[in-house]
Copies of this chain bind each other. A is one copy, B any other.
């Protein structure tokens, strides 16, 4: 078989992305489409999310981190829905002149994450663009039929739980833009590095997906800020939420920054890019969730309660916090 007639696009796909197409249904990325055989009695959960240079990441971020972030944003959505990752397709718009080293690192780390999270590449689309690098991923997962965990099913009386720590990435992006803040926030070097890392590389909570499926009444991933995202969950469920801000889990670095500048509480609660899960559950289910979370090394914290009414209220020292902009929005 002669490959001399292959187009440059075919060669690029064959060289960098075919090694990632490890499942038969990807057809070696050499067909118009991929084919997925859904497991019996399952629903397919579909999510799509993308990143654009200068909007969702810094243009000088390492190529492997850009690839991982794009995939992990989608994995985070699957985790919050209680879904098991199944695979993904990727659409990449490359600025003219993108070099081989960039593509090699991008594809290699994308492949590492695909293997780590059990979410293989099924297909893609590559183009050159006169604009910034942009990467759009559509990921698929599975849940037992009828069981996807939604935003709209929280009930008054449920407890509100959040995974991990909140606000690190939004503090990290501020540090990335102005390293001098580390000094005014009285952070040591390790703290600064950790906050910036949280922005660069989300750590989606897929290990907790099965427990979310078992125990949550409603859930979503925290990507646009806890305040705004909880507001969305409340609107979808036609309920209110009351959060005790003193119970929102914070990293040592975030606590240090807040001690130095208490006004950063707004950044922490509204800044976005957390990629944690916020979920609601019946009070008696929390112990089981915590046990499941401990087994996979993920911390969970009860931060408040679902109430009748509307709106998410963040209570701090006896007062309701008022935010300038509760949710990160591109518009």
Residues of A within 8 A of B (CB): 1-3, 5-12, 27, 30-38, 40, 42-50, 52, 54-56, 77-78, 80-81, 83, 89-91, 93, 122-132, 134, 136, 138, 140-141, 143, 145-146, 148, 150-152, 220-221, 224, 228, 231-232, 235-236, 238, 310-311, 326-331
15 A-B contact pairs sorted by A residue (CB < 8 Å):
A2-B235, A7-B228, A9-B330, A10-B329, A32-B80, A33-B141, A34-B47, A35-B143, A36-B44, A36-B46, A44-B44, A48-B90, A49-B91, A52-B131, A129-B134
Chain copies in complex: 2
Give A111 to B311 CA distance when docked, in angstroms: 32
Partner of A83, one of B33, B232, B326: B33
A143 CB contacts on chain B under 8 angstroms: 35
Query: Contacts A34-B46, A50-B136, A54-B130 known; A8 to B329 CB distance under 8 Å?
Result: yes
B44–A7 CB distance below 8 A: no
Task: Tell whether, in the assembled complex, residue B7 and residue A224 are in contact, meaning their CB atoms are under 8 Å apart.
Answer: yes
Check B123–A30 contact: CB distance below 8 A: no
Q: How far, in whole Å, are A63 and B130 apart by their CA atoms in the complex? A: 20
Q: How far is the CA of A142 from the CA of B2 in the complex (A)?
A: 33
Residues on B with C-beta less than 8 A from A7 are 224, 228, 326-329, 331
Q: Specify which chain B residues have a CB less than 8 angstroms from the CB of A32 in the assembled complex.
A: 47, 77, 80-81, 151, 220-221
Residue in chain B with minimal CB distance to A80: B32
Check if A43 sits within 8 Å of B37, measured CB to CB: yes
With A32-B220, A46-B36 known as contacts, the answer to whether A311 contacts B232 (CB < 8 A) is no
Please measure, in the bound complex, the distance between the C-alpha atom of A328 and the C-alpha atom of B10, giving whole angstroms.
Answer: 11
Known contacts: A9-B330, A44-B38, A46-B34. The answer to whether A132 contacts B130 by CB under 8 A is: yes
User: Chain B residue with minimal CB distance to A48?
Assistant: B89
CB distance from A56 to the nearest CB of B (A): 8
Chain A binding site: helix, strand, loop or mixed by DSSP? mixed
A238 and B1 contact, CB distance less than 8 A? yes
Q: Are A148 and B48 in contact (CB under 8 A)?
A: no
Cα–Cα distance between A5 and B233 once the two chains are bound (Å): 12
**Are the C-beta atoms of A50 and B91 separated by less than 8 Å?**
yes
- Chain B residue contacts of A77, Cβ below 8 A: 32-33
Instruction: Count chain B CB atoms within 10 A of each CB in A38, A130, A235 and give the residue with the most.
Output: A38
B residues in contact with A40, CB < 8 Å: 40
Known: A32-B80, A48-B123; 5 extra A-B contacts, CB below 8 A, are A7-B331, A30-B236, A34-B45, A37-B145, A50-B91
How far does the alpha carbon of A224 sit from the alpha carbon of B47 in the complex, in Å? Answer: 28
When the two chains form their complex, are residues B27 and A152 in contact, meaning their CB atoms are under 8 A apart? yes
Tell whether, in the assembled complex, residue A1 and residue B35 are in contact, meaning their CB atoms are under 8 Å apart: no
Give bound CA distance, A313 to B327, whole Å.
58
| CB–CB B47/A123 < 8 A | yes
Determine whether the beta carbon of B80 is less than 8 Å from that of A9. no
CB distance from A199 to the nearest CB of B (A): 17
Residues of chain B with a CB closer than 8 A to A27's CB:
150-152
Residue of B nearest to A131 (CB): B131
